[in-house]
């Protein structure tokens, strides 16, 4: 999906950064009934134990908060290179994260423990 800041739908929550500035994320969180803190906790919980958990040199300290691979970012790309995670695998992880977010929001399902 497109990123929220570029007109994307709620699947794009997987690509949003922390809610620290006014942007399309804030009304989207309100629309789906998540507080900023609930959103932070949700993403942190869902990436625990996955390649997206790491990334201390990224803008927000985890690949969980990084954007799509099509958006240039030297910090994300540096982290991917350091960890050996390919762009394709990064996007697969983000797709899985988006699916888990949707399942949690709409079905109340707990995360499925798959090899991520």
pLDDT score recorded for residue 75: 97
Of 27, 108, 97, whose CA–CA distance to 62 is shortest? 97
Structure tokens at 45: 């919980």
The CA–CA distances, whole Å, from 86 to 11, 32, 78, 91, 93 equal: 21, 32, 11, 9, 11
pLDDT score recorded for residue 115: 45
CA gap 6, 25 in Å, rounded = 11
User: Could you state, in chain order, the average pLDDT of each consecutive group of 10 residues for the chain (116 residues)?
Assistant: 82 89 90 92 96 95 95 96 97 96 84 48
pLDDT score recorded for residue 111: 52
CA gap 50, 63 in Å, rounded = 10
């Amino acid at each position: 999906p497109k990123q929220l800041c570029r007109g994307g739908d709620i699947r794009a929550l997987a690509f949003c950064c922390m809610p620290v500035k006014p942007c399309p994320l804030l009304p989207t969180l309100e629309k789906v009934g998540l507080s900023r803190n609930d959103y932070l906790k949700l993403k942190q919980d869902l990436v625990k134990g996955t390649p997206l958990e790491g990334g201390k040199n990224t803008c927000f300290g985890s690949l969980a908060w990084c954007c799509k691979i099509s958006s240039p970012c030297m910090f994300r790309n540096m982290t991917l290179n350091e960890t050996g995670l390919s762009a394709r695998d990064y996007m697969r992880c983000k797709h899985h994260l988006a699916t888990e977010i949707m399942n949690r929001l709409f079905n109340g399902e707990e995360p499925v423990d798959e090899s991520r």
